[in-house]
Amino acid sequence: MKIINSSQKVFYVLFFVFSIIFLTVASTNSYYQEGFSKSGNRFSSTVWNPGVVRITEVLYNPAGTDAGKEGIKIYNAGGQAVNLSGYALDVSGVSSPYLFGDVSINPGKIIIIHKNSGTDSANQKYWPTTGLMPNDSGSIALYKGLPKNSSNIIDFVQYGSGGGKGEAHASGAGIWAAGEYVPIISTEGSSMALKNKNNDTNKVGNWKEQTMPTGF
Ligand SMILES: [Ca+2]
Ligand SMILES: [Ca+2]
């Protein structure tokens, strides 16, 4: 029988311990990716992670005249398709929210809301409105339904100053700290975008200025 020495024993013990840690982290991550919150139970109560469908990019100050060129990207970070029927996207500068029709967003997919007239397709939606998103400060709030309140809000971001439309709902829901805001873009034509669309902890630090945004 082969005798292992003490350094080999240490190696095997460490290998075992790190394997357990790796498997735990991997299974935990996939668990959250499925869209269940930390308090949810995969097999019984399905507590939906409010951040699964999220705002990932906002073009509020396109190069030159803004009319017809502003837009917002919505992303499904979860593992299952989500039907957006009844969802409402509320932005500064426009009195009534954009209401989604009977449209599904697949896992890992983006839907772009163009503040312009046009013909809708699966991932391109058009919102003809004369109201423009302010270039100095504003907010974008996504609700899973109306009325707009802290129970229905699922994502929020504001820029330029605090106190934006929907801030009270977002802070009430614990998905944004009242008064915090992403600095406005330094260069006209840049967008405000999540650094990583799969990592949104509802903090200012998740956002960056995106030069030469695409898709809008
Ligand atoms: Ca502009
Ligand atoms: Ca604007």
Task: Give the domain ranges of the chain.
Answer: 53-210
The residues, any chain, with a CB within 8 Å of residue 159's CB and separated by 6 or more, are 58, 60, 137, 138, 139, 181, 182, 183, 184, 192
The residues, any chain, with a CB within 8 Å of residue 9's CB and separated by 6 or more, are none
Residue 78 corresponds to which tokens in the numbers above?
A: 């979860």
Is there a cis peptide before residue 147, judged by omega within 30 degrees of 0? yes
Backbone phi, psi, residue 119, to 5°: -100, 120
The torsion of the CA quartet 123, 32, 164, 118, rounded to 10 degrees, works out to 0
Tell me which ligand sits closest to the C-alpha of residue 60. Answer: 2
CA distance 180 to 159: 8
Residue 36, pLDDT score: 40
How do the pLDDT tens digits run along the chain, 216 residues long?
Answer: 455 566 666 666 656 656 655 545 454 444 443 334 333 333 333 344 556 999 999 999 999 999 999 999 999 999 999 999 999 999 999 999 999 999 999 999 999 999 999 999 999 999 999 899 999 999 999 999 999 999 999 999 999 999 999 999 999 999 999 999 999 999 999 999 999 999 999 999 999 999 999 999
Write out the DSSP string of 26-40: HHHHHHHHTTB-TT-
pTM: 0.78
Could you tell me the distance, in angstroms and rounded to a whole number, from the CA of residue 60 to the centre of ligand 1?
8
- Three-class secondary structure of residue 194 per DSSP: strand
Could you tell me the distance, in angstroms and rounded to a whole number, from the CA of residue 6 to the centre of ligand 1?
69
Could you tell me the distance, in angstroms and rounded to a whole number, from the CA of residue 133 to the centre of ligand 1?
10
Query: Angle at Cα 113 formed by Cα 112 and Cα 118, nearest 5°?
Result: 105
Asked if 130 contacts 112 with a C-beta cutoff of 8 angstroms, the reply is no
Residue 11, pLDDT score: 60
Q: Which CATH architecture has domain 53-210?
A: Sandwich (2.60)
Could you tell me the distance, in angstroms and rounded to a whole number, from the CA of residue 55 to the centre of ligand 2?
17
Integer CA distances (angstroms), 101 to 109, 150, 203, in order: 17, 22, 29
Residue 42, pLDDT score: 38
Go through the chain and tell me how many residues it has. Answer: 216
Residue 77 corresponds to which tokens in the numbers above?
A: 């970070």
CA distance 166 to 174: 12
CA distance 192 to 208: 6
Could you tell me the distance, in angstroms and rounded to a whole number, from the CA of residue 188 to the centre of ligand 2?
10
Could you tell me the distance, in angstroms and rounded to a whole number, from the CA of residue 188 to the centre of ligand 1?
6
Tell me which ligand sits closest to the C-alpha of residue 134. Answer: 2
